[in-house]
Chain A
Amino acid sequence: MAKITGQVQMLFDLNKCLGCQTCTSACKTAWTDKDQGQEYMYWNNVETVPGRGYPKGWQTMGGGFKACTNQVDLSAPLPSINRDYGAPWEYNYDEVLTTEGGDATVGMLVPAPRPDAPNDYSSNWDEDVGAGAHPDAYYFYLPRICNHCSKPACVAACPRKAVYKREEDGIVLIDQDRCRGYRYCIKGCPYKKIYWNPIVKKSQKCIFCYPRLENEDPENPLAKNFCVTQCVGRIRWVAYAEDTTSNLYKLVNVWRVGLRLHPEFGTEPNTFYIPPLSPRVTNGTAPRIPTDLLAEMFGDNCSQTFEQRKARVEEVFAILEQERAKVAAGGTSELVDILTSYSESDRIQL
């Protein structure tokens, strides 16, 4: 792999995500709503945590590098579209909504295939289900795109060198002409962010909206990643890792509130998450979302222990609470200012 001279990064503030799926819809309608075989693909998805995610159970599906080595884990079976993603259902709109001769239509709008086992799943099946017990039940939203990892397991897994990482910006792409559909990349990606197109028999994935980055509109230079520009909650920041003046850089490296999702997979993701604070449990002091759950998901790097990760999550919470308290007391905080994000140009710095 050639030396990467630039690296795009994205940061998500999970305290601001409202689970509206506008990012998902923007991505879907931009990139994967036209070609057959892409119906089930969500290059960007948002899943409820705790929950099984998309594909179902991806967090334990395998892939990534074994114990921080350079050896890709290809032992796990490939996810199946019906069982693990859920077959994307179609509807009989014509039957139900078209009338003839002025008669009220008889019929019911039904999904096909029916969302019953084994097709009882979709990208958002576990939405808002959560865990715990009322009134302390809890859940939060986790938006996910391809992490455009610095050490991409998909690139390492591909025997055709069809998956590649661009030198200029670190975006990971699949050369659709070279791809032969072996799907080692899907086995190798521990985040299961590569999708198999069964019609064209090639693997496809999030392209970080590179055509929008390459063809900058001079009249609208902030028109970059659709998932970022459409984000209702303004939870996403994008920047080049090398730009030490960016707000993303400040959040990750100066304020140190951005954590990686499952860094133990060993791929060095270029996406960062600010873990979600939550109210205290009833009659207790523990946060409603168990810190253990967050420590199992988030950390800095591959070699951290669980205890170190838990300490980091608690450290992030302490920083957030301390800076919020400053503002609540009438003071100012650079961190809170960045997180408030007054304009698009505060978040889109590519």
Chain B
Amino acid sequence: MPLWPKDTLTTGRSPRVLFVWGANYLNQAKGFLDVYQTLWPKLDLIVDLNFRMDTTALYADVVLPATSWFEMWNLNTTDLHSYIIPFTPVIPPQFGSRSDWQIWQGLADALANTGVVFQDSLPDGTTITRDYATLGTDFRTLNTDGQDLSDDKDACQFLLDSSVETNGLTMDGIAEQPARLLETSEEWTSDLLPNQAYYGFQRMTEHLKPLHTLTGRQQFYIDHDWYLSDFREELPVYKPPVDADLYPLRWITPHGRWSIHSTYRDLKFQLRMQRGRPIVYLSPSEAQARGLLDNDPVEVLNDHGSLVAHLCVSPRLPAGMALMYHGWESYMLKNNLDDTSGFKNGWQGPCTIRIKPTQLVGGYAQLKFRLNYWGPTGNQKDTRVQVVKYAGTLP
């Protein structure tokens, strides 16, 4: 994985501006308290482009109010299925919000007005002249042969026209009737088969197209030095949990049914179909051993942080585990970040970041950094906590 800007670790350079888009970064970051205590003070400016007032927005300097899905033209797709999904403006933008496209355009125009010109260095060592004066125009017309894409719908149509998967579809057409992609490019692992759902790796199994591995086949064996000698993982292998956080319960935070990450986590209609506030699950035996009853307030803690939630006792849990569905906003947990009483809340409070060293291997056969596909992730599976009865008072 490339480290950028270059030499960050040795020059003491540190980030000054954080721009958050499409995420609730502060709330969802592992090492929650570290992020707030270490990163936040370094920043001169925190900007959050958001359609929700979430934890990150509350701790940003500027919030740019964005439209949600039913207030704008936009496109959504994934390589996990073969459909292209339009967003359409059922209602006009509410409360002065703007679509993401309009917000970015406004920022480009604002930068253009500064007239700044400077030499920027690129990762490959070359330099490039950045002229902000043309940024607004570039934003609307770059790569379009002069066509103006300031309008959201025009920009969406341009995207449809520019991909082999969708060249031939129209925004009005897919708004009227959802459409399947027209074909799949080389990037995909399967052809589009009529009357068949899309599934992966059909080109490999039916056309014997090689996989992007060293051998061109399904491959478990990795002969990279780190795998071979440093960590002994040349083949998939069971390894016991890391001996850290010496607390008795494994801390598990799966995706929940009631939210998409933190979105919808704080909605009244959703909370009314739960228990109204954050809950953590224990097995009957673990609850009994701690003298805890269902719906008791409990503190979940380890050396990284703690949080207060209410207990739900369920026999579907094994002993030795504490489970909390993820995404609770920090303002739904006891105290807030500015509290100095020692509470380090946030559902990610007890989590820290442990990078698995083998995930730093790059540039070797299939082990190649690609955002969301291969790279270091924040492994949290070895986090352990204690759960005790919460003796304090709750608002």
What is A's interface to B at a CB cutoff of 8 Å?
A: 19-21, 24-25, 28-29, 33, 39, 88-91, 93, 96-97, 99, 102, 104-111, 115-117, 120, 122-125, 127-135, 137, 139
A162: shortest Cβ distance to chain B, in Å?
A: 29
> Which residue of B is nearest A129, CB measured?
B314
Chain A interface, >50% SS class: loop
Please report the number of residue pairs spanning A and B whose Cβ atoms sit closer than 8 angstroms: 101
17 A-B contact pairs sorted by A residue (CB < 8 Å): A19-B257, A24-B273, A25-B269, A91-B268, A96-B331, A99-B58, A102-B61, A105-B336, A106-B336, A107-B336, A108-B336, A111-B277, A122-B273, A122-B276, A123-B273, A127-B274, A135-B318
Contact A109 B329 (CB under 8 A): yes
Distance in angstroms between the alpha carbons of A69 and B183 in the assembled complex:
65
With contacts A91-B268, A109-B332 taken as known, whether A104 is within 8 angstroms of B276 at the C-beta atoms is no
Distance in angstroms between the alpha carbons of A54 and B310 in the assembled complex:
21
Distance in angstroms between the alpha carbons of A257 and B272 in the assembled complex:
34
With contacts A127-B274, A128-B316 taken as known, whether A104 is within 8 angstroms of B269 at the C-beta atoms is no
B333 within 8 A of A: yes
Which residues of chain B are near A93, meaning CB under 8 Å?
Answer: 266
B335 within 8 A of A: yes
Contact B273 A130 (CB under 8 A): no
Contact A122 B272 (CB under 8 A): yes
B123 within 8 A of A: no
Which residues of chain B are near A106, meaning CB under 8 Å?
Answer: 336, 338
The 6 A-B residue pairs with the shortest CB-CB distance in the complex, in nearest-first order: A111-B276, A137-B316, A115-B276, A137-B315, A97-B53, A124-B273
Which residues of chain B are near A90, meaning CB under 8 Å?
Answer: 268
Which residues of chain A are near B324, meaning CB under 8 Å?
Answer: none
Distance in angstroms between the alpha carbons of A8 and B360 in the assembled complex:
61
Which residues of chain A are near B394, meaning CB under 8 Å?
Answer: 110
Contact A104 B338 (CB under 8 A): yes
Which residues of chain A are near B331, meaning CB under 8 Å?
Answer: 96-97, 105, 107-109
Contact B276 A139 (CB under 8 A): no
B18: shortest Cβ distance to chain A, in Å?
A: 16
Which residues of chain B are near A122, meaning CB under 8 Å?
Answer: 272-276
Return the contact of B332 from the options A19, A29, A108 (Cβ within 8 A): A108
Which residues of chain B are near A116, meaning CB under 8 Å?
Answer: 295
Contact B273 A89 (CB under 8 A): no
With contacts A128-B316, A129-B313, A134-B318 taken as known, whether A115 is within 8 angstroms of B273 at the C-beta atoms is no
> Which residue of A is nearest B317, CB measured?
A134
B125: shortest Cβ distance to chain A, in Å?
A: 42
A95: shortest Cβ distance to chain B, in Å?
A: 10
Number of interface residues of B (CB under 8 A): 37
Distance in angstroms between the alpha carbons of A25 and B316 in the assembled complex:
26
Distance in angstroms between the alpha carbons of A99 and B55 in the assembled complex:
12
Bitwise, B194-238 to A at CB < 8 A (1) or not (0) is 000000000000000000000000000000000000000000000
> Which residue of B is nearest A130, CB measured?
B316
Which residues of chain A are near B257, meaning CB under 8 Å?
Answer: 19-21
Distance in angstroms between the alpha carbons of A106 and B337 in the assembled complex:
9
Bitwise, B241-277 to A at CB < 8 A (1) or not (0) is 0000000000000000100000000101101111111
Distance in angstroms between the alpha carbons of A264 and B229 in the assembled complex:
69
Which residues of chain B are near A21, meaning CB under 8 Å?
Answer: 257, 273
Contact B58 A124 (CB under 8 A): no
A309: shortest Cβ distance to chain B, in Å?
A: 26
B283 within 8 A of A: yes
Contact A139 B58 (CB under 8 A): no
Bitwise, B302-344 to A at CB < 8 A (1) or not (0) is 0000000010111111110000000001011111111000000
> Which residue of A is nearest B268, CB measured?
A91
Contact B276 A33 (CB under 8 A): no
Return the contact of A128 from the options B310, B314, B329, B338 (Cβ within 8 A): B314
> Which residue of A is nearest B338, CB measured?
A104
Contact A108 B335 (CB under 8 A): yes
Interface residues of B in 173-206 (CB under 8 A from A): none
A54: shortest Cβ distance to chain B, in Å?
A: 10
Which residues of chain A are near B53, meaning CB under 8 Å?
Answer: 97
Which residues of chain B are near A115, meaning CB under 8 Å?
Answer: 275-277, 295, 310
> Which residue of A is nearest B297, CB measured?
A116
A291: shortest Cβ distance to chain B, in Å?
A: 19
Distance in angstroms between the alpha carbons of A192 and B334 in the assembled complex:
37
B87 within 8 A of A: no
Contact A108 B333 (CB under 8 A): yes
Which residues of chain A are near B337, meaning CB under 8 Å?
Answer: 104
Return the contact of B315 from the options A39, A88, A107, A133 (Cβ within 8 A): A133
Interface residues of B in 91-110 (CB under 8 A from A): none
Which residues of chain A are near B269, meaning CB under 8 Å?
Answer: 25, 28-29, 33
A129: shortest Cβ distance to chain B, in Å?
A: 5
With contacts A110-B277, A133-B315, A139-B316 taken as known, whether A91 is within 8 angstroms of B295 at the C-beta atoms is no
Contact A104 B59 (CB under 8 A): yes
